[in-house]
């Protein structure tokens, strides 16, 4: 999936995929359109699979308080460096 055709979101991609399948199932698409729809569909399937992979690799748990503490430390350290 290149940048110009990258779907906005997983649901947009699935929505478009459903449209494509419906169109293909209708049997009304010409040969050229069918082949283009199949190519677009394969790209979308690839994108969706990548999105599913991204939330299927393993649960990662972060703590908001720790993240906030790090964020607070970071500017302080930067300020200290500036003072030095």
Partner 1 sequence: MEEQLFQPPESAPDAPAAPADGPPQPGLPGPFAVGRYAAKLREELRKRARVQLIGEVAGLGRSRTQSYFELRDADGAVPCAIWLDDLEKLKLPEGALRDGAEIVVAGGPDYYPGSAQASPSFSFRVTHVRLAGEGDLLARLAALRKALEAEGLFELQKRLDRPALPRTIGVVTGERGAARRDLLAGLQRRGWRGTIVWGFAPVQDRHAAPAITRAVQDLAALPEVDVIAVARGGGSLADLWAFCDETLCRTVAMLRVPVVSAVGHERDRTLIDDVAAVACSTPTHAAEAVVPLDCGAARQGLDRCARGLERAAAGAVSGRARHLAALARGPQRALDRQRHALNQITREMRAASQRRVAERSDFQRRIAIVVLDRAQRRAHESVVRCAAENARSSAALERSARRALDRRRQALGRIGVTLRAHDPDRTLERGYVLAEAGDGEPLTSAAAADAANRFSLRFADGRLAARSEGPQEDE
Contact residues: partner 1, CB under 8 A = 9-11, 14, 17, 20-21, 24, 29, 31, 34-35, 37-38, 41-42, 45, 48-49, 51-52, 54-65, 67-68
Residues with Cβ < 8 Å from 13, sequence gap 6 or more? 7, 44, 47, 48, 51
Choose between 54 and 76: whose C-beta lies nearer to partner 1: 54
At its nearest, how many Å lie between partner 1 and the CB of residue 45?
A: 5
At its nearest, how many Å lie between partner 1 and the CB of residue 84?
A: 30
Choose between 68 and 74: whose C-beta lies nearer to partner 1: 68
Choose between 25 and 83: whose C-beta lies nearer to partner 1: 25
- Judge contact between 61 and 55, C-beta under 8 A: no
Residue 29: phi and psi, rounded to 5, are -75, 140
- Judge contact between 73 and 66, C-beta under 8 A: no
């Amino acid at each position: 999936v290149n940048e110009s055709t990258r779907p906005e979101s997983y649901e947009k991609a699935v929505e478009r995929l459903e449209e494509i399948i419906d169109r293909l199932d209708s049997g009304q698409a010409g040969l050229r359109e069918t082949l283009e729809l199949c190519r677009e569909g394969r790209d979308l399937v690839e994108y969706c699979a990548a999105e599913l992979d991204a939330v299927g690799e393993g649960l990662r748990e972060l703590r908001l308080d720790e993240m906030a503490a790090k964020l607070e430390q970071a500017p302080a350290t930067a300020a200290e460096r500036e003072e030095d």
